[in-house]
Amino acid sequence: MKRIIPTKAHAVMDYGSAIILLIGPWILLFNDNAEAKYAFVFAGAFILLQSLFTNYEGGLLKVLPVKFHLFMDVVLGLALLSSPWVFGFAEQTWLWHVLMGGMSVFSGLFTSTKIPEFLSMKGM
Residue 114 has what pLDDT? Answer: 78
User: Which amino acid, 15?
Assistant: Y
Q: pLDDT tens digits, residue range 31-79? A: 999 999 999 999 999 999 999 999 999 999 999 999 999 999 999 999 9
Please give the backbone phi and psi of residue 5, each rounded to the nearest 5 degrees, phi first: -100, 120
User: Which residue, 65, 47, 50, is CA-closest to 101?
Assistant: 47
Residue 16, pLDDT above cutoff 80: yes
The answer to whether the beta carbons of residues 89 and 33 sit under 8 Å apart is: yes
Residue 116 has what pLDDT? Answer: 64
Residue 119 has what pLDDT? Answer: 58
| Confidence (pTM) | 0.90
Distance of CA 97 to the CA centre of its chain: 12
Report the distance separating Cα 51 and Cα 72, nearest Å: 11
Residue 124 has what pLDDT? Answer: 45
User: Which amino acid, 122?
Assistant: K
Residue 117 has what pLDDT? Answer: 66
Q: pLDDT tens digits, residue range 76-120? A: 999 999 999 999 999 999 999 999 999 999 999 999 987 666 655
Q: Residues 56-64: contacts with CB within 8 Å, 24+ apart?
A: 56/7, 56/8, 56/10, 56/11, 56/115, 56/119, 57/7, 57/8, 57/11, 57/115, 57/116, 57/119, 58/8, 58/10, 58/11, 58/12, 58/14, 58/15, 59/11, 62/119
Map out the domains of the chain as residue ranges: 7-114
Residue 122, pLDDT above cutoff 60: no
